[in-house]
Structure 1
């Protein structure tokens, strides 16, 4: 496979992702990019998307009462009440 073509396709795919995911990749030096495992970068981005998606799902479950709190310190922000939101508003 042509590595430059693979890199081009990978960067095109990554460019369509949210900036919070690709910003660290954009800050890589040219040498880092040339030596990078393109598919590894895509896998890391995909894992980030899945993890963030799961946090959103967990937050929605907590809001509608079907979820339970977790021991994950990052999820503490999800347990804080949203001002103006009541059970009747759902």
Structure 2
């Protein structure tokens, strides 16, 4: 199992999938990874696991699907990046 970026604190994790061109199929595959995450990494069995997807180019349907599935969406903003979800996002916990 490959996780591009893993951010950890004492009881929460954000697993991030990074693509140059993010498509719906990438989001679907990453959701499968998140479903198996705690099995593959039993060290984190008691952690809250959140997911995020990031892309330089993001298909419109991919951003809608990621948000619908409770993933954070990270996209370029000038020389940096932003979390592009609306404040109404209810992040999914694995």
TM-score, normalised with respect to structure 2: 0.24
Identify the structure with the greater helix proportion.
1
- Structure ID, larger Rg: 1
Considering Cα pairs closer than 8 Å and 6+ residues apart, tell me whether 1 or 2 has the greater RCO. 2
Identify the structure with the greater strand proportion.
2
